Chains A and B, each alone.
Chain A
């Protein structure tokens, strides 16, 4: 198997990122490919650039150097990155960021405004299906403040799946959860990868989370220092 952008769902090629106020390179030439339905964990010490890398992969921010490819096409050429994010990528964050005035069902519908055209009724129906999937169907009419933190993260996960993306990016998704709730979320990740062929990139400090992944990438000082796929890659 070859190893270029075309063989991956998402491919970061020698990505560099420097923040204006920091002389340090937050990312110092990172090359990383993610294949369809692959489950990648990114670990490393605080400040090593994990979140920065995730932002580049999810085009929340643009790199200063290098290129990110999606299905072989360079993203720097695309002008409709919002549209791209809405349809191709699901995000999960450590602090959920649900909208407090909206019920669980409504929160899940937020990305759908930018997804495929659906009637309001169809959006609500789709939201109910996704809440069912994450085991939150019974709490669909509750606002976030009425939900436990674990439940909130599951609603946030349903929201990430609103437009049926093929790639889920998660930054410390279990960082605010106790181990029981963390496990529920991680079980869902595994299930989604299997049932929906979803590719997952999960930034984490937790070894438990990393163990669940197919592949563990370790970073330090804005660089990748080890990659479990590289060891096996030759044989694949």
Chain B
């Protein structure tokens, strides 16, 4: 017999208790993993999109933590275009929007010029791309199409401009999940709908054979120094896509919530584990006494109890990952949130969840294991 087999049999002795403990831990860990997964998915999809679009810098108004609040004059884009290091620049306006026929669905509307980087890796499922001169035309992501129940040829009337119905000219699929849940109009239409001049722009620098790091730094500094003669208070901030994604406050919020939930899940998990293992140790007082009597050192008794706790935790991590994947899938079917999240768990998130669960096992098993190891064989065997 292997020591491991012994540990496993101890857990299977009380199948219902073991199952309930695993389930309880799995729900706690599962919700934690699901939330960490949401944050991670958004971050990775945005990062990978900027990567394929070969965007080096994202420029927004400085000190506008909600990217959507950023708004500045075309002076900046004109000046930035003139910088010798800039190969290409594309600007946009962004805002939250709703459609008149279904105000329950909130989505992002963006105004893009035809040369926007975003058009390059976009997959048009149906219809055509926006071209110069299009007015009152809208392209919608596939998730928004299903949430608003609109297809090519239908119209959408934005709550912000009730007098002008927009014709749907395309349904597209993007690599960025919230673009799938959003709408794209021409830049001038976007300015009208959002009431903004420019929300932000992306820059691709000239590589000049190198990795472009020097050019990126130069552009960053030059953009930070730009001042609009019409409003000297406005400053811009150019960030790498990675830093930009990190700083998006919605993502920060999701991350904060997921870490709070993780802490709560951890505490609940540890309490559950302590309870289960302490009960199990108490029931086995005699048995542990005999193990000590036949020569098991405290160390081995401790490993046995900790081993049981960690095994329980690993089972919970497995079930929890399934719970999380299922939960995420269920979320992506809800129109309220599916414009912002996508299903699937990265191995990294599953590994993190498993590590935390194992930690729960060790933390929750430690005290019962210590108690078990402290049992004196004579005391344990005395009460017949």
Binding site for B on A (CB under 8 A): 55, 58, 60-61, 80, 82-87, 89, 91, 93-95, 97, 99-102, 105-106, 109-111, 113-115, 120, 123-124, 159-160, 162-163
Contact = CB atoms under 8 A, between A and B. Distances in A.
Given A94-B384, A106-B1, A109-B1, A159 B294 contact: yes
A85 B378 CA distance: 13
Interface in B260-307: 286-287, 289-298, 300
Q: Which residue, of A84, A86, A89, has the highest number of chain B Cβ atoms within 10 A?
A: A86
19 contacts: A55-B378, A61-B378, A80-B297, A86-B294, A93-B290, A97-B289, A97-B381, A99-B290, A101-B12, A101-B13, A102-B6, A106-B5, A113-B3, A113-B296, A114-B294, A123-B1, A160-B294, A162-B294, A163-B295
Contacts of B131: none
B376 interface: yes
Nearest to A91: B293
Nearest to B2: A120
B239 interface: no
B377 interface: yes
B286 to A, nearest CB: 6
B10 interface: yes
A110 B291 contact: yes
Contacts of B378: 55, 60-61
B101 interface: no
A212 B288 CA distance: 32
B287 A97 contact: yes
Nearest to B291: A110
A61 B381 CA distance: 12
Nearest to A124: B1
A101 B12 CA distance: 8
A49 to B, nearest CB: 13
A62 B1 CA distance: 32
A102 B295 contact: no
B281 to A, nearest CB: 14
Contact of A101 (B10, B286, B292, B376): B10
Contacts of B336: none
Contacts of A113: 3, 296, 300
Contacts of B292: 60, 82
Given A101-B9, A101-B12, A120 B1 contact: yes
Contacts of B2: 120
Interface string B1-40: 1110110011011000000000000000000000000000
B258 to A, nearest CB: 39
Binding site of B, secondary structure by majority: helix, strand, loop or mixed? Answer: helix
Contact of A60 (B1, B293, B384): B293
Contacts of A102: 1, 6, 9
Interface residues of B, number: 27
Contacts of A82: 292, 295-298
Contacts of A87: 295
A25 to B, nearest CB: 16
Contact of B294 (A91, A100, A123): A91
A75 to B, nearest CB: 14
Given A60-B378, A123-B1, A106 B6 contact: yes
Contacts of A124: 1
A55 B5 CA distance: 30
A128 B221 CA distance: 80
Contacts of B296: 82, 86, 110-111, 113-114
B381 A93 contact: yes
Contacts of A123: 1
B300 A99 contact: no
A166 to B, nearest CB: 14
A201 to B, nearest CB: 15
Contacts of A61: 376-378
Nearest to A159: B294
A125 to B, nearest CB: 12
Contacts of A106: 1, 5-6, 9
A86 B295 contact: yes
A124 B6 CA distance: 13
Nearest to A61: B378
A102 B5 CA distance: 10
Contacts of B1: 102, 105-106, 109, 120, 123-124
Given A60-B293, A87-B295, 17 more contacts: A60-B377, A60-B378, A82-B292, A85-B293, A86-B296, A91-B293, A94-B384, A95-B384, A97-B381, A99-B290, A101-B13, A110-B294, A110-B296, A113-B300, A114-B296, A114-B297, A120-B2
